[in-house]
Every structure is written in structure tokens, then in C-alpha cells.
Amino acid sequence: MDVLPLVALIAASAAVAGAARRTPVPAPLLLVGVGLIAAYLPGVPDYHLDPHVVLPLILPPLLHTAALESSYLDLRANIRPVALLSVGYVLFATVAVGWLAYLLIPDLPLTAALVLGAVVAPPDAVAATAIARRVGLPSRITTILQGESLVNDATAITAYKVALAAAVGEGASWSGGVREFLVAAVGGVGVGLLLMVPIHWLRTHLKEAMLQNTLSLLIPFVAYAAAEQVGASGVLAVVVVALYLGHRSWQVDFETRLQEAAVWKVVSFILESAVFALIGLQLPVVLKGLGEYSVAQAVWYAVGVFVVVVAARFVWSYPATYLPRWTSRRIREREDDMDWRRPLIVSWAGMRGVVSLAIAFSIPLVMDDGEPFPARNLVLFLTFTTVIGTLVVQGLSLPWLIRVLKLPGRDAQAQTLAEAQAQNAASQAAEARVEELMRDERNCLPPPLQDRLRTVLERRRNSVWERLGQPNPVTGESADDTYRRLAREAIAAEREVFVRMRDERRIDDEMMRTLLRKLDLEEAAAYREVED
């Protein structure tokens, strides 16, 4: 791909994603829709989704940033539902979709049908979590969806390799398929376990934040490539390393964390936007290759595959939710009563995405005997329509379904109370440590600086409690919000003075940047970041 079309793709997709923030339509859906329209506009180049780019270059950083933001402890607490969805459901969907396609499409071999099943089996990591965050799903459902999306790609890719080997004539057996799956899974986890400790050690011993963040950008590619090099799952290696690094991120210095969060936020925003736009732009490529199949036939097959993809998730999710509770007293005692609405939401949040398309485009043109791969173009079309169908039908209706079911979201009051209690305990420990240090003559400070240090600690402790108080009757702000607004106005006034003094040549640019950085850090400390 030339540089100009690539730049145009990134710029246009970022603009559409930014515009989506001002609309009720989730960004993935708007990007796909715009991509579908743009594919037929004059002057828009042909964008071909290259699996050799998507799988090793786009998937690892997206998985890495998702795993960094996930909670290792929450995933461990929900390991059973995550495993049942990310492994059990993907294999079940592979067989269910493959069997239906075999019965529905004349002359389609079962092995090729299973290839289609493996391709469309994994729900998309980005789409589900993006919509889940926007609609405010309960934390346990969000954790289960995130955990599933971190692992299911590895299951689907391994199932695809086994089905493809049988389809192209390389030979495959049930025992061989199970062996390959275990090698990929155990090997991927093993590579991740081998890499995570030395990578974290290197991160904590590099003294330059710039070097630490350069390493951070390389980590997902290194983990993925190392695992794939030994025939293991690169996806699992990336996830294991990222979960470990995210769990121990507190051991890295503050400057690295600030830069790393900003860097990965930009990277994931660009990649997610471009990926969903690319999905829509594939329509002309897919339609060109239908060949002997008429549009009416292809649409009929597409409807059938879409229905079984959606139905298979319901068929799997409800037994996977309730059977363990019915058969295990320990599970019943440990877990809260499972509301029937929760598996319904999990079942409906099964949107497919770019990984399915990337795997489909990697299907070879010919088999080992030189014959064309059976119905390859139809498989591409059915994958594309399944991705678009789930994104549009399920993605658009998921927020509405959550509102209709009146599923309780996160308790903001309880979260704020827990935050306040944690901050209070931390502030008390900090105050005790400061008082202890103050008794040492080596730490002697003038009284104004001592008071300032104590005031900062007190302010930090009280800020969260103030959010629980009554709002200002005039502005509707809490005392904490008013404090932040006034602090920002004061910092803005200081910033204007520094710029004016630079313009008047009373200070140089280097000094101005130094002073502005101090203000930036103060402003960052004064404001708690709010996720969109």
C-alpha cells in the first residue's frame, strides 16, 4: 500500500471515530458504515485486508493494550465463565456453523465448512468492549467479555489451522487436532511466562522514560513473534505478558506510566479506527469473487450462517452459566444468584470483527493437489456478511436491550465510597510517614513548607469524600469539582504569564517549556482522568 492511501485511511478513520463521540452511534458501527459507503466513492483506492499485516502487526498491540487495562485478579475470579466462552464456545461455534454450512451449501466439503466455522467463531475484542464501556455494563459482565476476547482468537486460529490442514489435503485427525491445540495453548502461555519476568525487570531498571516506552511499544510484537517462531500461540503469549505487566505497573516510575498511558491510548485509537474502517472497505473485494454463486444464493447462505452464529451463542451461554451452579454446591455458595438477564446480554454481545476477516483472507487459493480451494470466495463473502450483520444488528440493539432489561449498572455511589475509604487509609499512612520523617533533623523544613505538605495530603484525602456531599445549589458542582475548576483557572493564568514573558524575551523557550511542564504535572494531579 502506498503511503498516501495509508495516511488518508488513518486520517479519515480518526475523524469519523472522533465524530462518533458526539453521536449516539458507537464508533465501530459508524466506521464500518462509512467504510461501506466510501468503498464505492470515486477516487477511493482499493484497500485489501492483508492477513500478513493484520495478524502479526495489528492484532498484538490491540490485545496488549486490552490486557494491560484488564484486571488479572478479576479474570482469575471469573476464570470458569471466561474459559467456557473463549475455548468451549469457540469450538462449539466452529462445529455448529460448519455443520450448518455443510448441509446448506451444495457441494461444500465438510472440511471447508469447518474452516468457515473457525473463521467466524471468535467474537471481536474491540467491538464488544468498546460498546460495553459506552453503555455501562456491570463490571462482572465486562470482565467476562474482556477475558473472552483476550483468549478466543487463539482458540479460533488454532481450530482454523487444524480444519485448513484437513481441507487442503495435509491430513488431520482428531488426536492430531487436539495435540496441535494443546501445543499452541501451552506453548503460548509458556512463552509468555518465560518473557514476562525479564521484560518487567528490564522495564524497572531502565532509567529513561523514553527508553521504557520504546520497550513498551516493542513488547507485544516480541511476544507474538517469539511464540509463533516455536509454533505456539502468539495471542496467548501477548496476553500473558501484558496481564503481568499491567498487574505490576505500580513498580514502574510515574513518568513512564503517564507517557505509556498516553502512547497506548493513541496507538489503540488509531488502530481500532482504521481496522473498523477497513472492514467496510472490503465490500468490493468480497463481491468481485462470488463467481458461480448468484447474489440471491449468497444472501440466502449469509442469512443462514448469521442466524446460526447468533443462535449458537445462546445455546452455549445458558447451559454454561447454569449447569456449573446446578452441579456444584461450592459454586452456588461462592457466587451470587445469576440473573437470567446477564447470560442474555453476554449472548447478544457476540459481535465479530477484523480477526475473522483477516483469517478468511489467509485461506489459500489452491489445495495441495492444485485444485482451487472449494468455495473460497463464498467463504469470504459469508465471513464479511457475518461480521457486518453482527456489528450492525447486535451492536446497534445492544444498548437498547440493556435499557429495556433494566440491568443494574455499576453503583457509582458505592464506587466513590470505596475510593474514598481507600484514599483515606492511604492518606493516613502518608501523614504518619511524613510526621515520622519530620522528627529527623535531616528533614527539617520551614513551617510554611511543612504546612503545605500537610495541606496537600489533607486535600487529597478530602477530595473524594467531597464528591459524596451535596452539590453547589447554583452550579450543581461538588466542592471537589469547584476546586478543580478554580485550580485550572489559576494554572491557566500562570501559563499565560509564562508565554507572555517568552514573547517579550524575558525568558527563553527552554525555560518556558520547563515551567509549563511543572504546571502540566500539577494540572494532571489536580484532575482525575474520566474515561469516555
Task: Quote the pLDDT of residue 167.
Answer: 83
Give CA–CA dist 114/93, Å, rounded.
10
| Per-residue H/E/C for 21-51 | CCCCCCHHHHHHHHHHHHCCCCCCCCCCCCH
If one counts every other C-beta atom within 10 angstroms of the C-beta of residue 41, the result is 7
Range of the domain at 300: 3-410
Angle of helix 59-68 relative to helix 209-229, nearest 10 degrees, comes to 120
503 falls within a domain: no
Do residues 398 and 347 share a domain? Answer: yes
Do residues 376 and 426 share a domain? Answer: no
* Residue 86 DSSP label: I
Are the CB atoms for 216 and 167 separated by under 8 Å? no
* Residue 251 DSSP label: G
Give CA–CA dist 201/203, Å, rounded.
5
Give CA–CA dist 168/374, Å, rounded.
9
Do residues 165 and 203 share a domain? Answer: yes
Do residues 341 and 424 share a domain? Answer: no
Task: Quote the pLDDT of residue 532.
Answer: 40
| Per-residue H/E/C for 381-404 | HHHHHHHHHHHHHHHHHHHHHHHH
Are the CB atoms for 97 and 305 separated by under 8 Å? yes
Q: Which residues pair with 372 in a beta bridge?
A: 366
> How confident is the model over 360-380, as pLDDT tens digits?
888 888 887 778 888 888 898
Phi–psi pair at 66, nearest 5 degrees? -65, -40
Do residues 160 and 240 share a domain? Answer: yes
Give CA–CA dist 272/264, Å, rounded.
12
Give CA–CA dist 216/199, Å, rounded.
9
Q: Which three cell numbers stand for residue 41?
A: 466513492
Do residues 427 and 293 share a domain? Answer: no
Are the CB atoms for 325 and 120 separated by under 8 Å? no
198 falls within a domain: yes
Task: Quote the pLDDT of residue 432.
Answer: 81
Do residues 24 and 117 share a domain? Answer: yes
> How confident is the model over 236-262, as pLDDT tens digits?
999 999 999 988 888 888 778 888 888
Residue type, 86: S
475 falls within a domain: no
Give CA–CA dist 180/161, Å, rounded.
9
Do residues 456 and 338 share a domain? Answer: no
Give CA–CA dist 96/120, Å, rounded.
11
Do residues 357 and 343 share a domain? Answer: yes
Task: Quote the pLDDT of residue 315.
Answer: 95
Q: Cell 456531599, residue?
A: 469
145 falls within a domain: yes
273 falls within a domain: yes
Nearest CA among 33, 275, 318 for reference residue 130: 275
* Residue 89 DSSP label: I
Are the CB atoms for 64 and 219 separated by under 8 Å? yes
491 falls within a domain: no
Do residues 455 and 367 share a domain? Answer: no
Residues of the chain predicted below pLDDT 70: 1, 125-136, 169-177, 289, 291, 336-338, 408-420, 423, 459-476, 478-480, 526-532
Predicted TM-score (pTM) of the model is 0.82
Total domains in the chain come to: 2
Do residues 191 and 289 share a domain? Answer: yes
Do residues 51 and 128 share a domain? Answer: yes
Are the CB atoms for 92 and 249 separated by under 8 Å? no
Q: 520: Cβ–Cβ under 8 A, 6 or more apart, which residues?
A: none
Q: What kind and span of H or E run contains 286? A: helix 283-288
190 falls within a domain: yes
254 falls within a domain: yes
Task: Quote the pLDDT of residue 518.
Answer: 81
- Indicate which CATH number applies to the domain containing 218: 1.20.1530.20
Give CA–CA dist 94/87, Å, rounded.
11
Reported residue count of the chain is: 532
Nearest CA among 69, 76, 67 for reference residue 241: 67
